């Protein structure tokens, strides 16, 4: 990759690298004009095919949705295209690994509920994300908000002026990451919204079980054909053994949808909400990674401190009247 410029648009100063994908490097960046800390994605203009322009256009179309990264600026600086975005929280998959590769049901329900809403929003704007996987989710731990990232292969599937589906180019190629791709996507069929739901179901099951039958410790390196064979050969009952049936139901539901059928998102939310009320009453909104919130910013902790203690006179002060 050609050397990245140090400053972008005369106002953004690149600092440390936050992460990278196959096309771009993402930098933590300071806006010198207002001191805001943001994220900037840099891609060499020589990349073929270029990805950042497409990502920018898609994000602008989806602008304003909860869980959709907010674009601050897009432009070219010397040898690179740059996309300035709000700085999002932490990569969800990293947190999953930090939590010994298991999330509790309550956390999974919360994440599932949010991701389902985001997919519904993307779908309602005529798009299919195409690469739904844990590595493409970020979480703001404080706000407990999940964001979907990486719109590199997001496609428009619905033409609102003709009110018709836009056909995808068919072929035996996988558009998303094999581990979480839908079976139809493996087979080179359209990456439709039912595929996104199937991917979501795999993600939630993965979070609950800690793995999936077709994964090993470095699942990015497994071949698509091996994963497909294992996915097809694993019965849903076996995949979901030991976990509440709602997740199997989401998977079955995604398999029964036809390409042109709109998913019933309310029904899917209902399946998850049912779980939320079924278990033992947990602390409000407590998620597995809440321990990472600094105590001073954790409302649950400050709520649990008795008010008398908060009002108490500090011991080192003189108490004479």
Ligand X SMILES: Nc1ncnc2c1ncn2[C@@H]1O[C@H](COP(=O)(O)OP(=O)(O)OP(=O)(O)O)[C@@H](O)[C@H]1O
Distance, in Å, from the CA atom of 251 to the CA atom of 243, rounded to the nearest integer, reads: 13
Instruction: Say if CB 4 and CB 77 are below 8 A apart.
Output: no
- Beta strands of the chain (E only): which ranges? 7-8, 12-20, 25-31, 37-44, 71-77, 80-86, 90-91, 127-128, 137-140, 145-148, 155-156, 158-159, 164-165
Residue 3 annotated in ligand binding: no
Residue number with the shortest CB distance to ligand X?
A: 21
Closest to ligand X by CB, 88 vs 105, is: 88
| Interaction between residue 42 and ligand X (CB under 6 A) | no
| Interaction between residue 44 and ligand X (CB under 6 A) | no
Among 39, 42, 205, 215, binds ligand X (CB under 6 A): 39
| Interaction between residue 20 and ligand X (CB under 6 A) | yes
From residue 143 to residue 162, what is the string marking binding to ligand X with x (rule CB under 6 A)? ------xx-x----------
Token pair listed for 42: 């840099």
Token pair listed for 209: 């079980």
Closest to ligand X by CB, 42 vs 246, is: 42
Binding piece for ligand X, criterion CB under 6 A, among 20-28, 167-175, 194-202, 293-301:
20-28
Distance, in Å, from the CA atom of 117 to the CA atom of 135, rounded to the nearest integer, reads: 18
- 26 DSSP β-pair partners: 19, 41
Instruction: Say if CB 106 and CB 277 are below 8 A apart.
Output: no
3-class DSSP state for residue 107?
helix
Closest to ligand X by CB, 155 vs 240, is: 155
Among 13, 19, 126, 224, binds ligand X (CB under 6 A): 19
Beta 158-159 vs 137-140: how paired, if at all? unpaired
Closest to ligand X by CB, 224 vs 243, is: 224
In the complex, what is the shortest distance from the CB of residue 147 to ligand X, in angstroms, rounded to a whole number? 7
Among 8, 14, 24, 146, binds ligand X (CB under 6 A): 24
Give the DSSP letter string of 242-307: TS-THHHHHHHHHHH--TTSPP-HHHHHHHHHHHHHHS--PSTT--TTGGGS-GGG-HHHHHHS-H
In the complex, what is the shortest distance from the CB of residue 266 to ligand X, in angstroms, rounded to a whole number? 30
CA-to-CA dists, residue 124 to 24, 158, 248, 288, angstroms: 28, 9, 25, 31
In the complex, what is the shortest distance from the CB of residue 72 to ligand X, in angstroms, rounded to a whole number? 10
In the complex, what is the shortest distance from the CB of residue 294 to ligand X, in angstroms, rounded to a whole number? 19
Closest to ligand X by CB, 55 vs 109, is: 55
Binding piece for ligand X, criterion CB under 6 A, among 14-22, 109-117, 164-172, 210-218:
14-22
Distance, in Å, from the CA atom of 128 to the CA atom of 309, rounded to the nearest integer, reads: 52
Binding to ligand X in span 57-116, by CB under 6 A: 69, 85, 87-88, 91
In the complex, what is the shortest distance from the CB of residue 20 to ligand X, in angstroms, rounded to a whole number? 5
Binding to ligand X in span 157-216, by CB under 6 A: none
Give the 3-state secondary structure percentages of the chain, helix then strand then coil, rounded to 5. 40, 20, 45
Q: Residues annotated as binding site for ATP?
A: 41
Residues that bind ligand X (CB under 6 A): 18-24, 26, 39, 41, 51, 69, 85, 87-88, 91, 135, 149-150, 152
């Amino acid at each position: 990759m050609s050397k990245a410029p140090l400053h972008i648009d005369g106002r953004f100063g690149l600092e440390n690298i936050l992460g990278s994908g196959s096309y771009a490097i993402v930098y933590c960046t300071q806006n010198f004009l207002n001191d805001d800390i943001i994220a900037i994605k840099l891609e060499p203009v020589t990349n073929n095919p270029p990805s950042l322009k497409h990502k920018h256009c898609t994000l602008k179309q989806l602008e304003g949705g909860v869980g959709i990264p907010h674009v601050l600026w897009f432009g070219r600086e010397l040898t690179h295209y740059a996309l300035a975005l709000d700085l999002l929280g932490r990569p969800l998959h990293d947190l999953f690994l930090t939590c010994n590769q298991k999330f509790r049901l309550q956390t999974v329900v919360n994440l599932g509920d949010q991701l389902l809403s985001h997919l519904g929003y993307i779908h309602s704007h005529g798009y299919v994300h195409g690469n739904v996987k844990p590595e493409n989710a970020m979480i703001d731990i404080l706000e407990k908000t999940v964001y979907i990232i990486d719109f590199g292969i997001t496609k428009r599937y619905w033409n609102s002026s003709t009110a018709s589906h836009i056909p995808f180019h068919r072929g035996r190629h996988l558009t998303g990451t094999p581990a979480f791709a839908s079976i139809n996507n493996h087979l080179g069929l359209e990456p439709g919204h039912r595929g996104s739901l199937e991917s979501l179901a795999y993600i939630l099951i993965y979070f609950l079980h800690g793995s999936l039958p077709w994964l090993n410790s470095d699942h990015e390196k497994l071949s698509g054909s091996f994963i497909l064979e294992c996915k097809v050969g694993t019965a849903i009952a076996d995949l979901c053994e030991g976990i509440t049936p709602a997740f199997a139901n989401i998977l079955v539901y995604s398999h029964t949808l036809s390409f042109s059928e709109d998913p019933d998102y309310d029904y899917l939310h209902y399946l998850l909400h049912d779980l939320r009320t079924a278990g033992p009453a947990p602390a409000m909104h407590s998620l597995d990674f809440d321990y990472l919130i600094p105590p001073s910013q954790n409302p649950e902790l400050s709520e649990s401190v008795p008010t008398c203690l908060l009002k108490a006179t500090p011991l080192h002060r003189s108490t004479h009247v």
